[in-house]
Amino acid sequence: MPEYNKGLASRHNYFIAALFANILWGFVAIVFRKIEYWPSDTIVYFRILISFFLICLFILLFRPAAVKRDWLWVQSLSLKQRNHMGILTVLSSVLMIGNWFSFIYAVNRISIKSAAFAYLVCPLITALAGCVLLKEKLSPIKWMSLGLALISVLMLSRGSFTETVWSIVIASFYAFYLIIQRKFQDVDKLNFLAVQLAICSLLIIPLMMFTESPIPDAVNFWVNISIIAGIFTVVPLFLSMFALSRITSTTMGVLLYVNPVVAFAVAIFYFGERISIDQLFAYLLLVVAIALYNSGIIKQIFSSFVKRLTH
């Protein structure tokens, strides 16, 4: 089966998709805070179920042919390949649930900064895991940028031990989720996301019954959880999976730094959380690290943009 949208988009488009996904995720705390009075598990449960409903509705209406192609492709695999794919799919779904629950809990019960800090730690874990598990190579300039990012993370980690622990937990879930996505190059990304959300739904239904999670009756909850499911879940997850079909998990991991930069800006300018001079300097250092790591592709995008203007 050919790669998803192979030949229809350049590497620049994949880079921009990953960038936009992380910018979008940076604003999600605004919506989460509107339903903070609901338990974190309730928010996660209905985020998953509504996301699954929306993506299935879209696929059934607009992409039935893609489902048929993927089904035939899966049938062509050997039993060993199907079992391997099934194990990784279930594992990625579990990591997704873990990331969502820990992130929402941190936003609503710890602090927005602790949730944002997780995505400062995540790229370091992703980069190292990509090197060790996927044998991805890094140039000296990219190692230098990761070093600057590490300095920034260490500067920002001086504070609450609880916040730091939660940040590491959130980061680890998402870092290994990204690593697994790189293993699925030949699968339609939207269909694969639907399968992951289906597994997540099957996993949470017993939990909902066991915990007797209440069904919210407030219109405000359903409006905001639908926004979270559609705009802040399905869209960025699809964009990130689409991007991972052509860019490395290490590059995707470094682009995650955009997420906390936006999230911290939201925490400061929208929610009025305080930031020290040291934290401000650390974030400026982080921006430098992002630009340095992606200097090659940023230069290519800029050159391409200039050529279009001059022709």
Residue pair 163/117 in contact by the 8 Å Cβ criterion:
yes
Average pLDDT over residues 79-105: 88
Is pLDDT of 199 > 90?
yes
Residue pair 9/291 in contact by the 8 Å Cβ criterion:
no
Residues in the chain: 311
Query: What mean pLDDT is reported for the chain?
Result: 78
- Is the pLDDT higher at 11 or at 175? 175
pLDDT of residue 240: 79
Confidence of residue 227 (pLDDT cuts 50, 70, 90): very high
Is pLDDT of 7 > 70?
no
Average pLDDT over residues 69-94: 88
Confidence of residue 8 (pLDDT cuts 50, 70, 90): very low
Average pLDDT over residues 39-52: 86
Place of tokens 């998803």: 4
Confidence of residue 224 (pLDDT cuts 50, 70, 90): very high
- 97-140: pLDDT as tens digits: 888 888 878 877 777 667 767 777 777 777 777 777 767 677 78
Percent of the chain residues topping a pLDDT of 90: 7
Helices marked H in the chain:
11-25, 28-32, 40-62, 64-75, 79-105, 112-133, 140-156, 161-181, 189-211, 219-229, 235-243, 249-255, 258-269, 277-293, 295-310
pLDDT of residue 9: 45
Is pLDDT of 216 > 90?
no
Is pLDDT of 175 > 70?
yes
This model's pTM is above 0.85: no
- Is the pLDDT higher at 250 or at 192? 192
pLDDT of residue 225: 92
pLDDT of residue 91: 93
**Alpha carbons 311 and 35: distance in angstroms, whole number:** 50
Render 2-57 in DSSP notation, one character per residue. PPTTTTTS-HHHHHHHHHHHHHHHTTHHHHHGGGTTS-HHHHHHHHHHHHHHHHHH
Confidence of residue 4 (pLDDT cuts 50, 70, 90): very low
